[in-house]
Homo-oligomer: A and B are copies of this chain.
Amino acid sequence: MTEETVVTLAALKERVEAIFRKAGLNDTQATAISRVIIAGERDGCKSHGIYRIEGALRTVKAGKVKPDATPELLIEEGSAIVKVNAGGGFANAAFELGIAELARRAAKLGLAAMVINDCTHFSALWPEVEALTERGLAGIVMCPSYATVAPTGGNKPLLGTNPFAFGWPRQGGSPYVFDFATSVAARGEIELHRRAGKQLPEGWAIDADGKPTTDPEAALAGAMLPFGGHKGSAIATMVELLAGIMIGDLTSPEVLDYLGTTTLAPFHGELILAFSPEAFAKGRPGDPFARAEVLFEAIVGQGARLPSQRRFAARRTSESEGVTLSAAEIQQLERLLDKGLDAVS
């Protein structure tokens, strides 16, 4: 049996921040990025936890993200759009800079948007959705990624796995949150099948000739498929249009051209929409938060699940007991802290 170590979230955060500082990230970048990595680990979302550190460092080393960027808030009086230029740094610091102003405008106008430009975004979107729900706002968050998904009816990678996330605040409990890729599967899952020598489920991917395949190698050389056929393909296209083109940032094919690889974190923009349920419901019968609970109860009452429940359960445990890391994970953290950017290729 491999040895395991239990670490508190605070201790882990300190360790992760130290790694990023050693790799040249300034305070703003290091603390913001560490927060989302710890959130992933805390929520039992290993694919968005400390596993991601190496990819972030590789992206720094490749010169595709500025480790010492200072994001800049570009606001225009009387606009519903809050713009943050990430200055080529990670999206997380930019989001943290803009969230208060976004919340202020959403409360005032009923509806507001935050645009993050010139950022590297590699974390899940739920930490950002939850930052909105914590402020009593509902939110939609989306961004492109790299061209790895063929539009339905097509045969070449063009769209990204383009995540789409939504949150609704719940009083005295975890929010209603979903955050999913608009592809059937995440690219990482195909890679995991390849490593394990396993075939893919039907419907995940096509090969380089556009034919359906269950072979992970062929899928990686071909393209992934959108979820839900032409409907998912349409949503992924909407994400390219709104959170790439409309905000004046790169689309998934442009990101891939720019990076030349899918092994570095993608450089593009992000769109965050914030809704004030109070402002929308004003003057109408019923309290929107209480009414939402009726809907949630009806969903759970028939045996269906609300999304993110596994994450919230893991969170409760991690917050009281810390998280358990394997010997290999601890070793990796030590190596990254010791060698900095020399630890990655």
Contact = CB atoms under 8 A, between A and B. Distances in A.
A50 interface: no
A305 interface: yes
A125 to B, nearest CB: 13
A72 to B, nearest CB: 12
A235 B253 CA distance: 26
Contacts of A234: 166, 178, 180, 307
A279 B81 contact: yes
A63 interface: no
Interface in A210-249: 227-235, 237-238, 240-242, 245-249
A288 B248 contact: yes
A285 interface: yes
- Identical chains bound together, number: 2
A304 B153 contact: yes
Interface stretch (A23-31, A105-113, A188-196, A321-329): A105-113
A313 interface: no
A103 to B, nearest CB: 14
**Looking at chain A's contact residues, is the secondary structure mostly helix, strand, loop, or mixed?**
mixed
A43 B251 CA distance: 31
Contact of A241 (B111, B182, B295): B295
25 contacts: A81-B109, A110-B113, A111-B113, A111-B273, A154-B303, A155-B303, A158-B299, A166-B234, A166-B238, A168-B241, A176-B237, A178-B238, A180-B231, A182-B231, A227-B231, A228-B231, A234-B307, A240-B295, A242-B275, A245-B281, A246-B277, A246-B281, A247-B280, A247-B284, A248-B284
Given A151-B302, A228-B232, 4 more contacts: A109-B109, A155-B303, A245-B295, A248-B281
